[in-house]
Structure 1
Amino acid sequence: MSNANLEVSQQLQQLLLQVADRTKYFLGYPVSKDFDYSELLPFLQFPMNNLGDPFVKSTYQVDSREMEREVVHFFAELFRANPENVWGYVTNGGSEGNLYGLYVARELYPNAMVYFSEDTHYSIQKNVTLLNMEYVIVRSQENGEIDYNDLKEAIRYNRHRPVVVVANIGTTMTEAKDDIPRIKQLVADMAIEKCYVHADAALAGGFAPFVKPRPAFDFVDGCDSISVSGHKFIGSPMPSGVVVVKKENRDRIARKIAYIGSSDATITGSRNGHSPLFLWYAIKKLGVDGFANRAQHSLEVASYTESRLNEIGVKAWRNTNAITVVFPSPAVEVCAKWQLATEKGFSHIICMPNVTKEQIDEFVSDVMATTPQ
């Protein structure tokens, strides 16, 4: 082996050890790591690219479009979309799904005002800036949910313009969920007919359909598009997501492209053909029952985490049926070890399907060991 090749191998081995070690200790981010995609490794030999519309054939055929369509239909059914009026694709993550939903909204209502709460994911403000859409940031309630009274006043001030609302179906820090039927009713009460609601369900979209009572977040509840991440609740080696929209709205922006023999209906041109394959594989292996079991496990561990922290005097809390537990930030070394996201003096643990009660016990022990007596 040449010196150059030896150096590459050593660097890779060092990175592998580092990644494996750090993967053991993260509780602060919504990423599932309990997956095994070894059966799919042979596909990494091929340049799989799902460029263009997954529902339209392309002259480029080294792809996974068939699987991508199945993934879209799986989530469309979970989100109770009209099967006669649904379209979507596998994205690079929730942020791209949010961009797509807002893009569709802008094409429908070019003069619209966009409303979202101060607890909304940072991708929304970035996306409305990219799309050159005017927006109003609305206050949040203490639990992170949008302040409906403030939203009403903001819309009233601009009631001559169409309304676009980004509803959080699980905010970043507290997993608060905005009530879409309440938002729709609020707009209807002001006699505003042109209204578009995009649901950012990056994390909770994977388990909200299995929670009782079911949050009001999907197409039956009044959303026009919805974005969910694939690498969060499901788990994937690379970031991914799914966006589902009404086909009639998507048809307004698609353009036929002769070069690829397909239509340009997505944000990016070339698209990862491996991501849909990973999501398809997970969906096939888990099934609906598997999703429901993962949701139940996460909720049980979240309840356990909240109780354990309160037992040792840490004022932990969570929103109804949330898998995110919020508490005052512990010592810096504890935050660093467990890779906790921290904001305004608070941190959180997100009880993903891979999180165990044993991990929580170890975390609690660390908190106790670093808390002044």
Structure 2
Amino acid sequence: MKLESQNLKRLDELFYSMQEANACFLGYPFAKDFNYEPLWRFLNFSGNNAGDPFEPGTYRVNSYAFECEVVDFFAQLFRAPDCGFWGYVTNGGTEGNIYGLYLGRELYPDGVAYFSRDTHYSVSKAVRLLRLEYAVVDSQPNGEISYDDLARRASGGRNRPALIVANIGTTMKEGKDDTLKIREVLRDVGVSQIYIHADAALCGPYAPMLSPKPAFDFVDGADSITVSGHKFLGAPMPCGIVLARKLNVQRILRAIDYIGSSDTTLSGSRNAYTPIVLWYAIRCLGTAGIKRVFHQCEQLAAYTADELNARGVSAWRNPDALTVVFPPVEEDIKAKWQIATEDVSHVVVTPGTTKRQLDTLIEAIADSGS
């Protein structure tokens, strides 16, 4: 295969455009501090992790073994029950959220889904796809779910199961819901059948290391958990991991003769490259490295909030959060730095974010009078 010169030029233009954009985005949680050159050789293969990674299949150009190690790493991190969990590498957090609610629906077909207003938009998509009845619960000012409003809404459906999406780091404010408190609230109003899916897209890798640790893992009552691979760990493409209790996964298991294996995933054929990338990242970092990198990012987030406040910009963040929240910025700043904005704007200090980048943005916001 050989491209004509004009098409090669277009590739060069695209590369430099992406390179420029990569140097000045601060509003979305994508780690930038990674180097996967040793893995490029794997792009020479049509790698396909089709079906269940824990079962051998007919197609052997796969990275099942590495995918299983990635799942095992997060199973230990999230205190999954021994031999009682299952998981796989997904295309990202949206797939993980749909998968978690899918398992909940299959367990409780007449369940009602509850999630807060600060929940990622993928959950609204998931409940429509799965045709789930749902209720949107109010949020507290810090982005955490309102437990009082949850109690009020769930009390009207106390005779039906509850399928809860708990946010372990909301999109705009990095608010964290408490799964232990959610279960307590629901039981107090008479709901006895409860399924909790924890969306830990950004915070998953480091949340278990916080003190105090947020209540979100399997011991704390979660039935499934999703985490993104590109947001904190760093990957050159969106990806994620979803884990769930094995008994719930077995309910959707189907044997597929075509691949010589079972399939318990949503996507079936899956990229064999992302498990290798995630394996490489966790082998390079380990839990100690994740903790070290988190503290570096957290210190920069604290610095950013302090500097904005010192310049008259009202900024804040949740405890231990990498997300700094401030009033909506002007359009030119939003466009240049790719700042996510709803009722507020925010910066997410992920690995690879530099003090120089943050200082430049701080000065721009302060000078604009935002």
Q: Give the TM-score of the pair, scaled to structure 1.
A: 0.97
Q: Secondary structure at the match of 1:137?
A: strand
Partner of 1:132: 131
User: How far apart are 1:361 and its partner, in Å?
Assistant: 1.1
Q: Distance in 1 between matches of 2:337 and 2:261?
A: 45
Residue deviations 1:95-132 (CA, integer Å, cap 9, x gap): 00001100100110000011001111100011011011
Match of 1:359 in 2: 357
The alignment covers a number of residue pairs equal to 370
Give the secondary structure class of the aligned counterpart of 1:204: coil
Q: Who is 2:167 aligned against?
A: 168
Aligned to 1:92: 91
Match in the other structure for 1:107: 106
For 2:63 and 2:347, the matched residues in 1 are separated by 35
Could you tell me how far apart the structure 1 residues matched to 2:361 and 2:135 are?
39
Q: What displacement does 1:369 show?
A: 3.0
Q: In 2, Cα distance between the equivalents of 1:371 and 1:332?
A: 13
Root-mean-square deviation over aligned CA pairs: 1.3
Is 2:179 the partner of 1:149? no
The aligned residue for residue 82 of structure 1 is 81
Normalising by the residue count of structure 2, what TM-score does the alignment of the two structures yield? 0.98
2-side partners of 1:331 and 1:164: how far apart? 39
2:322 equivalent in structure 1: 323
Structure 1 equivalent of residue 7 of structure 2: 8
Given that residues 302 and 323 in structure 1 are in contact (C-alpha distance below 8 angstroms), is that contact kept between their aligned partners in structure 2? yes
Distance 2:191 2:149 in 1: 17
Identity among equivalent pairs (%) = 51
8 Å CA contact 2:313, 2:366 repeated in 1: no
The letter for the 1-side match of 2:312 is G
Supply the distance in 1 between the matched residues of 2:37 and 2:118 (Cα, whole angstroms): 38
Correspondence list, 1:309-320, <5 A: 309-320=308-319
Structure 2 stretches of 5 or more lacking a match? Answer: none
- CA–CA distance in structure 1, aligned partners of residues 17 and 367 of structure 2: 25
Q: Partners in 2 of 1:191 and 1:371 — Cα distance?
A: 50
Deviation at 1:330, TM superposition (A): 2.5
Partner of 1:177: 176
Q: 2:56 aligns to what SS in structure 1?
A: coil
* 1:270 and 2:264 are equivalent in the alignment: no
- Counterpart position of 2:119: 120
1:54–1:89 CA contact under 8 A, matched in 2: yes
1:170-194 Cα shifts (integer Å, max 9, x gaps):
1110010011100011122234321
CA distance in 1, matches of 2:322, 2:366: 22
Query: How far is the alpha carbon of 1:142 from its aligned partner?
Result: 1.2
Question: Residue 298 of structure 1 contacts residue 323 of structure 1 at CA under 8 Å; is this kept in 2?
Answer: yes
Aligned to 2:234: 235
Residue matched to 2:367: 369
Q: Which runs of 4+ in 1 moved over 6 A?
A: none
Distance across 2 between alignment mates of 1:261 and 1:193: 39
Local SS of the residue matching 2:4: helix
CA–CA distance in structure 1, aligned partners of residues 153 and 366 of structure 2: 45
Q: Counterpart of 1:333 in structure 2: which amino acid?
A: D
Kindly provide the CA deviation profile for residues 249-283 of structure 1, in whole angstroms up to 9, marking residues without a partner as x: 10111011111011010001211110101000111
Question: For residues 370 and 8 of structure 1, what CA distance do their matches in structure 2 show?
Answer: 40
Report the Cα distance in structure 2 between the residues aligned to 1:332 and 1:125, rounded to whole angstroms. 27
Partner in structure 1 of residue 279 of structure 2: 280
